[in-house]
Every structure is written in structure tokens, then in C-alpha cells.
Amino acid sequence: MKKKSLLPYLLITPVMIILISLVLYPIIVTFYYSLRKMKLTEPNNYYFLGFKNYIDIINKYDFWYSFQNTMIIMIVVIILCAIISFIFAMMLNVESKMKNILMAISIIPWALPPYINGILWKWIFYPGFGFINKILYSLNLIEEPIQFFSNRYYIMIIIGIIVAWRNIPFCSIVLLSAIRAIPNVIYDVANIDGANKIQTLTKITIPLLIPAFSIIFTFTSISAINVFDEVIALIEYSNLGKTLLVENYINTFSFLNFGYGSALTYLIMIISGIFGILYIKAMSKRIEYI
């Protein structure tokens, strides 16, 4: 009996070791660093600060500038993923010979590395000879190329498009699964009652997809907050398009201010953690169809 009771603990021991060494330990060490003055360019100037690093971050303009940029990206990503993923899910739900091929093609953006996605879209929006400027110029809509990378809001919208493009396949699959999980009997009853396609869509399909949409909102929010590779591929470390992670990277690895950077890391982790909790709650919801 003792051996049987120890077996479950032995089986989870490797996982616990990995979690403690790769998750719990870095979290504790990062918090310890965040409470100290720790700048590698000043190795002898190392002492306890308490929560001063956090206060300095909150009072710093660069943090709020990066936070605003991240929020703009998040709004763009959520809107695009919600609308386009729903359209794709409805298209993939239609039985056709091309369904499996379309499913495979739709996963390509998700499978590509984020940095590669950023490079691909950089050439699309490139000011001089990018694809978008060529189309606009050929249609006589512009006389000079649009400088997409010289405007803060253009940059944020483009980054939002890139992140949305990467996340749309996953979001489409989530919505497609939710659509196929809706019992056909509900639609049969609606048809008997005389509901048309628009009424069926707005009164049945979309309301029953709210739990799936909540998963998409939280997942895409976390992706937007943690965007980094696409930003670097698009504009490198430009101050104009700084996000929270880029701001964190610059302070930690460029200025070597590990105390300040660790505090900023913790704040980003808390923000992401809030959306992570919402994501877990959304995943655990059960839908009552009947």
C-alpha cells in the first residue's frame, strides 16, 4: 500500500523539479533582484531599495508610453482576431472538398516563427517599394509613398496586424470547435419556429460562442502584451514603437540595470497574469445548450 501511495508522487517528481527550477526559482530570484539596486555598470553600488524600482517605473514617462503602445496593439489584435477568426470559422464549417486544404493553409501563419512574420510584413509595408505602397500608387491613390514606419500609430496598427495574423489560425480553430459543438437540434427548433439565417446567427450561434470568444480575448491579450520579435523585426529598438517588452529589454540588457529591469518584468508578469487567470476561467466554463 505504501508503494502504491508513493507512486503518484514519484511520477510527478520530474515535472515538479522542472517547474521549480525553470518557473518558481526564476520568479523568486527576479522579485529579489527587483527590490535591489543592481546595475552591472556599477558593481560596487549594490544595496536594498525596497519597492523604489516599482515606484520609479510607475512615475516614468517611458513606461506609460510603452504601456499605451502595448494597449493600442492589444485593441487592434482583439478586434481583428475576433472578426476575422469568426469569418474563417464559419467558412471552414461549411462542408467542401477544399476544407482540409484550407485548414492546412490557415495554420501556416501560426507555424511560422514570430520574427519571420515580422520580416514578411516589413516588406509589405516598406515605405519605398513595399507591396501596399505599390498598390496604392498603381491605383493613383497616393503621389508619394506613405512612411508607415515614421508614425507611432501606423507602427502600432501594423504590429497589431502582424500579431493578429499569427493568432488568427488558433482563434479560428477555437471558434470552429465551439461551432461544431453546438447541437443541431437547436438549429432544427429555430427553423421550425421560422427563424432566418441572420436571426439564427445573432440569436443562437454568436451567444453560444461567447465562452469561446472570451478565450480568444484573453489569449490574444496575452500575445499582444508579450509581443517582442515582431517589433524588433519591423523597427528594431526604435523609441517610436517601444512596447513593454522592448522597454524591459533595453533597460535590462542595454543599460544593464537588472534591478529596474526585474521590477519591470514583474509588472509585465502581473499584467499578463491577470489575463492568464481570465483565460483559465474561460477555459473552465461549461455551456448549457438545452
Banded pLDDT at 66 (limits 50, 70, 90): very high
Q: Which residues pair with 65 in a beta bridge?
A: none
Q: What does the pLDDT look like over 272-283, one tens digit per residue?
A: 888 778 777 766
Residues 245 and 67: their CA atoms lie apart, in Å, by 10
Residues 210 and 270: their CA atoms lie apart, in Å, by 25
pLDDT of residue 285: 60
Residues 231 and 121: their CA atoms lie apart, in Å, by 11
Residues 259 and 143: their CA atoms lie apart, in Å, by 49
**Total-model pTM:** 0.86
Q: What does the pLDDT look like over 240-256, one tens digit per residue?
A: 889 999 999 999 888 88
Residues 19 and 276: their CA atoms lie apart, in Å, by 17
